[in-house]
Amino acid sequence: MWVKCAKLFVFCYYIYMKKRLLSGIQPSGAIHIGNYFGAIKQFVDLQDQYESFIFIADLHAITTVQNKEELSANILDTAIDYLACGLDPEKVCLYQQSDIPEVAELTWYFNCITTMPFLERATAYKDANQKAKEVNVGLFDYPILMASDILIQNADIVPVGQDQKQHIEYTRDIAQKFNKIFGEVFILPEPLISRNVSIVPGIDGRKMSKSYKNTIPLFGTDEEIKKAVMKIITDSKTPEEEKDPDSCNIFALHKLFLKENELEKLRKRYLNGGLGYKESKEILLTEIISFISPLRKKKEFYKNNPDKVIEILKKGAIKARAQAQEKMKIIRDKIGVNI
Ligand code: ATP
Ligand code: MG
């Protein structure tokens, strides 16, 4: 009896003391190796250390994916990929963003205290604005929706790739502004960016992004991965010429897979000459395929059991929504809509 009580106490104390981690990925296309090394790997590595909330950012994805079949297939695929990468649903609360409608409500409140020039300074918006003829309001509002996801769950820490750092700063600014206007409600989250990764380059040298179509898909077939790897852009040096590993897109990807000593050997081969880009790509292809083979097996299991995946998401949504509703009571009260 006493032993049971002590165990329960230790368990409760541990849960109470654990900081809360939250992050998400858009179901805007197939997960790529940038998503894995920039974000998902950290979610998996930290799932014992933090009370984790990981979601599928489907509301965000609607800014770009506007096709029913595509969106719902992507949502299920993203959930499967999370699980295949090693997220343990017993440790992590895994849910779909649109199952928490309070997030959209909070976004409206934040919209009302945020100015247009503040959002116009977001680099993701500036990039999109340069490319698209007319950016939709959802894309413009992306940082606010992201702030709502994070702040409604009282997250302490948000593991993301370097490209999202500015959005976490926005989240902190929005939380501070709300706290100043309506009174203390939100804690300020910290970003967690992997020191070894920051931004994984795509096959064209820009940030690897689903929307840029420059990805190496994490769960592609061998043929798809080969096709992507062989297209990686390089300069036109011959195999005999000496090469600079630090400006080479292929070498940047080797860094994700090779151990320190193996990377050093490859670095020397670059510097000494004699290694062609084709051979470097072939080595990379072997690295990627051997890395993903155990993940593929797990993916197969969940692909054959979609009901299990949906059940995990629904269970996660119940927990995440209950917390969001608790928080919304406080928020509504502070704003004055409760009469
Ligand atoms: P989209 O093009 O639709 O924005 P994306 O490929 O940028 O898709 P997101 O869903 O926006 O992927 O990002 C999910 C997570 O993966 C975020 O934490 C983001 O910082 C991280 N991430 C995305 N691309 C990279 C990359 N190239 N290198 C490192 N991290 C990345
Ligand atoms: Mg992105």
State residue 1's pLDDT score: 64
State residue 2's pLDDT score: 62
Mutate to test the pocket of ligand 1, among 36, 157, 163, 232 (most ligand atoms within 8 A of CB): 163
Taking only the tens place, the pLDDT of each residue in 133-180 is 899 999 999 999 999 999 999 999 999 999 999 999 999 999 999 999
- Give the ligand with the smallest distance to the CA of 194: 1
DSSP string across 136-193: -HHHHTHHHHHHHHHHHTT-SEEE--GGGHHHHHHHHHHHHHHHHHH-S--PPPEEE-
Alpha-carbon distances of 55 from 192, 218, 234, rounded to whole Å: 17, 19, 36
Nearest-atom index, ligand 1, CA of 215? 6
Taking only the tens place, the pLDDT of each residue in 311-325 is 999 999 999 999 999
Mean pLDDT value across residues 67-77: 98
Taking only the tens place, the pLDDT of each residue in 235-282 is 999 999 999 999 999 999 999 999 999 999 999 999 999 999 999 999
Does the Cβ of 201 fall within 6 Å of ligand 1? no
Does the Cβ of 42 fall within 6 Å of ligand 1? no
Mean pLDDT value across residues 98-117: 98
- Kindly tell me if the per-residue pLDDT of 290 is higher than 60: yes
State residue 81's pLDDT score: 98
Mean pLDDT value across residues 190-210: 92
Residue 25: beta bridge partners?
A: 56
Nearest-atom index, ligand 1, CA of 160? 18
Q: Alpha-carbon distance 270 to 264, whole Å?
A: 10
Burial (0-12, 13-18, 19+ Cβ within 10 Å), 31: buried
Q: Alpha-carbon distance 54 to 289, whole Å?
A: 26
Which strand (E) or helix (H) includes residue 79? helix 68-84
State residue 16's pLDDT score: 61
State residue 175's pLDDT score: 98
Q: Alpha-carbon distance 31 to 215, whole Å?
A: 9
pLDDT confidence of 12, banded at 50, 70, 90? low
pLDDT confidence of 7, banded at 50, 70, 90? low
- Kindly tell me if the per-residue pLDDT of 131 is higher than 60: yes
Q: Is the pTM of this model over 0.85?
A: yes
- Give the ligand with the smallest distance to the CA of 210: 1
Lowest mean pLDDT among 51-60, 89-98, 191-200: 191-200
pLDDT confidence of 13, banded at 50, 70, 90? low
